[in-house]
Chains A and B, each alone.
Chain A
Amino acid sequence: DGGITQSPKYLFRKEGQNVTLSCEQNLNHDAMYWYRQDPGQGLRLIYYSQIVNDFQKGDIAEGYSVSREKKESFPLTVTSAQKNPTAFYLCASSNIASGMIYNEQFFGPGTRLTVL
């Protein structure tokens, strides 16, 4: 089955620790995204990548880092610099083929991160 997988489903972090959230897609999509969802806040864009080895900051990138070494993988690291990391993290991907303007974003099942 084609789709997006995120792991782990639940993650607990102690204060001062870095943690890495995994996102893998087998849809052959060029673009991948990370969003954060908080209650009453909607989805906010953290980072996005339109091509391997390149990525851009979204609206709330501070305290986060990403890498895009492979087309199918876009891991997100939540660093100790992120002051309020407890949230639901969603990864998405889309096909941005040449000539397309609109791209549907397909979402993974999410990772719920809790800071202890």
Chain B
Amino acid sequence: QKEVEQDPGPLSVPEGAIVSLNCTYSNSAFQYFMWYRQYSRKGPELLMYTYSSGNKEDGRFTAQVDKSSKYISLFIRDSQPSDSATYLCAMSAGLRGSNYKLTFGKGTLLTVNP
């Protein structure tokens, strides 16, 4: 079993739809959870960051973490064509001395159609 599993898609939705992106993981030591957005041929940029379980909202984006199920989600409300990108989940155990280590999902390609 891979440490982080993410459905690669592609996912295609109409403008205005609610988008749900998900990752599952197997390492119970993960406690920092991130979502990166990567436009085509660009470097990833951090979109959302969550520590431990719970929800975090930022504008149209909501990140959810359920550590008991080892499952994280990113919701995008009122999706826009500019949201079309690859979304990567990333996780870290955040252990002192090794906090460099991010484990990434493979990314989900999202297209929002006008």
Contact = CB atoms under 8 A, between A and B. Distances in A.
A41 B106 contact: yes
B103 to A, nearest CB: 9
B38 to A, nearest CB: 8
A44 B107 CA distance: 12
A43 B104 contact: yes
Interface residues of B, number: 27
B100 A48 contact: yes
Interface in B46-64: 46, 49, 51
Contacts, number: 61
A42 B106 contact: yes
B99 A102 contact: yes
A4 B49 CA distance: 20
Interface residues of A, number: 29
Interface secondary structure of B, over-half rule? loop
Contact of A96 (B34, B44, B88, B99): B99
Interface in B80-112: 88, 90, 92, 94-96, 99-102, 104-107
A31 interface: yes
A101 B44 contact: no
B75 interface: no
Nearest to B4: A42
